[in-house]
Structure 1
Amino acid sequence: MNRQTLSMVFLFVATLSGMSLWFMAAAIVPDMAAESGLTETELAWLSSVVPAGFGIGALGFALLGLPDRVDPRYLFACCTFAIALLNLLLLSLPIGGPTAIAIRFASGVLMAGTWPVSMKIAVGWTIRRRGALMGSLVAALVAGQAVPYLLAWFGGADWRLAIMFGSAVTALGGGAILLSALGPHHARAAAFRTRAIALIWTDRRIRAAVLGYLGHMWEFIAFWAWVGVFASVSYSASLEPGAAVSLGKLSAFLCILAAAPACVLSGFIADRVGKGRVAATALAVSGSACVLTALTFGGPVWLTFILLIVWGAAVVPDSPQFSALVADFAPPELAGSLMTFQASLGFLMTTVTTQVAPQIADVHSWPVLIGLLALGPAFGLFFMRPVRLV
């Protein structure tokens, strides 16, 4: 195994592990609600503050230029070890209390030093094969973010067990990243000028990639955060409550995991037919699956299950291609900060969508909420036109 392949293996393991606690709260919401008496809307703060923290953290890292000025491996490792420790503190705090919410927010801030930083490391290894590499990297991220749902499913009502194993998985990422190496195309900035961020608005191609990415993010995180809940609600029309919740957890794990092979395959295709073409196709398929899921909500369990898997497979593959497009169009020494800033904008927006999702569902129903998520792909397809054929 050569140096690049070995480094990629460690990078993929680190990426899988480093972001694995993102949906931990969402995965164990039903169990925490049953124990504490808090509503799912109240517990939503444990999930929604993570993208808020991530967005603010990514904004800070981007404006300081940290992904381009320091060794990204050390930044990644420090953040993952801190996240693992913070997560363990949740075991000694009141469920859904202010301190627990603050810890989840801080974890989100630190996660900005994991996934965006891994993208900086990845693009340093190749220029011609970035579509495949970024797709594979996101596949590792997807697999990691599906882990909490798997732990919650295995742990049953014992959500504390899921918390403990989740911290161990995250700490593994810190160790793995330190075993990786930096590629021949890695560019380090001696100093970072904040005005370089203006390229996102002044470069027409970068702007189109960022706006397409924002359309993708409108549905993406809200879908992942709440898929276990609305799947359970849909299944409850045909199944007993306990069976519906259990199948909802398994469905969430499988529909998130389905994006992993889809990201890998679409990445290789993107290097042949174009990253913009692949991103546009993924947006169209995920938007269609979103609408169909809303229309068939509460119907046959098998139909909802299949639609969720299709939606889950299509909702992610555009993300790595939008990031790869930004890296392609940006100066190499600024690529890390620009991709981090792109992520910041997307996740700050998802803070709102994740938090208001259950409120909209309570007032108008889950099918209405699911239908509203389809607006994101439509927005993305419209505004990414300048790079759709790239």
Structure 2
Amino acid sequence: MTQTAVLAPARILPTIVFSQFAGTSLWFAGNAVLPELQASLGLQQGALGLLTSAVQFGFILGTLCFAFFSLADRVSPRLLFLLCALLGALANALILVSATSIAGVLLLRGLTGFLLAGIYPVGMKIAASWYSGNLGKAIGYLVGALVLGTAFPHLLRGLGAALPWQSMLLAISTLSAAGGLLMYLLVPDGPYLAKGAGFKVSNMLQVFRVREFRAAAFGYFGHMWELYTLWAFVPFILAYAYPEWQQGQLSIGSFKVIAAGAIGCVSGGYASQRWGSARVAFVQLLLSGLCCILSVWILQEPSLLLPFLLFWGVVVAGDSPQFSALTARTAPPQLVGTALTVVTSIGFAITIISIQLTGYLLTSLPVPAVFILLVFGPVMGLLSMGKLLQK
């Protein structure tokens, strides 16, 4: 029997988008106050990769835990989102009292990453429960909010360079808590929310039995090899190309490059309504792969670098919501939450390898020669998408 289409109330999408933006602002909060943490803890330059990877590692553990117990399919998604947003805000704020210990800071950043597992993929499931035919466009807005949330700490740092770093962390925690409350109060369970599956250890593996799902998942994995590594090292690239820039200029520049991805996400969402999610994801992944190759030359041309990075920022993130939409559409309906969570978990495990490898290579190779290696991710992703394009 065909399910009757339900028109979502006007408040639903803006609330989901804001809540996702607010919750994911926790992601790079540590990066935004890195200079102060380095001074407090006596950290070297390698702290950038260390702090970023701590969040990624925590996120992986969180998504694995959520997927193993099928929490996103067994617990009300809005309640799960609320709890994780509030606890993530608390973990972020506790850095204020642990900034004298590198172990304490890394533990709290890892815990924040763990709790982000109940924000990012769960937010996508909430969107999928309200938007069926327009899922590509809805998730385009949602991941665009994630991109802006990720970039927001850099903006806060750039505009408030004179503010105490403690105030910035508290502002981000307050924003996350507000987002969780709004999601719970204003977004009820959607009409397309399928009854969740019961707990089975095999749930995580069952989703990969679908051929189209595997194609979407491996496309996403290739995309993730590139995405967070570029985001993590944008401040490094700008400092390398523009040594005369002050900290505020570097932070604003980093915000612009990362936030540009929201343009790719939203415009790609609209384009998917005409050309389909698979084609839009393929084109954006192809363009970001070309940027990896061109980086060898353009990193040596400061006059071209900033426009180039802005374009790269648009396409490197623009395919992400379409891969999420493809994952949600091709997964078994009763396991959508588990599917989104386990695929996201594997994708972020890949980012740790990529970030750490890039950080190591930057100590032994010329900077312009390093970022071309990110092209291996887009190449793998493009090769995996053949079945989706044929369909």
TM over 0.5, shorter chain: yes
Are 2:286 and 1:284 equivalent residues in the alignment? yes
Residues 330 and 201 from structure 1, CA distance in 2 versus in 1: closer, same or farther, beyond 3 angstroms?
closer
3-state SS of 1:374 partner: helix
Task: Return the letter of the residue paired with 1:209.
Answer: A
Written as runs of structure 1 = structure 2, the 5 A alignment for 1:70-109 is 70-94=75-99, 97-109=102-114
Corresponding position of 2:389: 388
Q: Which residue number in structure 2 is paired with residue 213 of structure 1?
A: 220
One-letter amino acid of the structure 2 residue matched with residue 189 of structure 1: G
Aligned to 2:257: 255
Confirm or deny: 8 A CA contact 1:155 1:161 kept in the other structure.
no
1:115 to 120, 131, 138: 120
Residue 329 of structure 2: aligned partner: 328
> What is the rounded CA distance, in whole Å, between the counterparts of 1:273 and 1:255 in structure 2?
26
Identity of aligned residues (%): 36
Q: CA, structure 1 residues 216+311, in 2 after alignment: closer, same or farther (shift >3 Å)?
A: same
Q: Are 1:6 and 2:17 an aligned pair?
A: no
Counterpart AA for 2:352: T
Corresponding residue for 2:346? Answer: 345
Summarize the alignment of residues 219-258 of structure 1 with structure 2, pairs less than 5 Å apart: 219-236=226-243, 240=244, 243=245, 245-258=247-260
CA drift of 1:192 comes to 3.2
Alignment of 1:302-317 (within 5 A): 302-317=303-318
TM-score by length of 2: 0.93
* Residues 1:35 and 1:304: Cα distance change in structure 2 (over 3 Å): farther
Q: What is aligned with 1:41?
A: 46
CA distance in 2, matches of 1:132, 1:99: 40
Instruction: Give the CA deviation at 1:244.
Output: 5.1
CA contact (8 A) 1:43 1:96 kept: no
* Alpha-carbon distance in 2 for matches of 1:369, 1:134: 32
SS at structure 2 position matched to 1:105: helix
Find the aligned partners of 2:11 and 2:316 in 1 and give their Cα distance.
29
Give 1:24 shift.
Answer: 1.6
Q: 1:255 Cα shift?
A: 1.2
Q: Letter of the 2:359 partner, please give it.
A: P
1:222–1:21: structure 2 CA closer, same or farther, 3 Å change rule?
A: same
Question: Matches of 1:186 and 1:200 in 2, distance apart?
Answer: 17
Instruction: Look up the match of 2:187.
Output: 180
User: For the residues of structure 2 that align with 1:43 and 1:144, how far apart are their CA atoms?
Assistant: 18
Correspondent of 2:276 among 274, 286, 296: 274
- Between the two proteins, the alignment pairs up a number of residues equal to 383
CA contact (8 A) 1:84 1:171 kept: yes
2:71 to 66, 74, 94: 66
- Look up the SS of the partner of 1:308 in the other structure: helix
Structure 2 letter corresponding to 1:197: M
Conserved? CA contact 2:207–2:332, under 8 Å: no
What amino acid maps onto 1:295 in structure 2?
W
Taking a change above 3 Å as real, the CA distance of residues 69 and 369 of structure 1, as seen in their structure-2 partners, is: same
Question: Could you tell me how far 1:271 is from its partner in structure 2?
Answer: 2.1
SS of the residue 1:4 aligns to: coil
Per the normalisation by structure 1, the TM-score is 0.93
Deviation at 1:126, TM superposition (A): 2.4
C-alpha offsets along residues 94-148 of structure 1, whole Å, 9 cap, x if unaligned? 3561011011111111100001001111111122111111111111111111111
The DSSP-based 3-state class of the residue aligned with 2:118 is: coil
* CA–CA distance in structure 2, aligned partners of residues 389 and 27 of structure 1: 43
Q: Specify the alignment match of 2:140 in structure 1.
A: 135
Aligned counterpart, 2:158: 153
Root-mean-square deviation (CA, aligned residues, Å) is 1.8
- Report the residue type matching 1:283 in the other structure: L
Residue 171 of structure 1 is matched in structure 2 by 177
Whole-angstrom CA distance in 2 between matches of 1:358 and 1:96: 23
* Residue in 2 that maps onto 1:25: 30
**Distance change in 2, residues 1:141/1:43 (3 Å):** closer
Change (3 A) 1:244 1:290: farther
> What's the counterpart of residue 363 of structure 1?
364
Q: Which runs of 5+ in 1 are unaligned?
A: none
Is 1:294 matched with 2:307?
A: no
1:329-368 residue CA offsets vs partner (Å, 9 max, x unmatched): 1222211110111000001111222233222111113222
1:90 positional shift: 0.8
Partner letter of residue 348 of structure 1? A
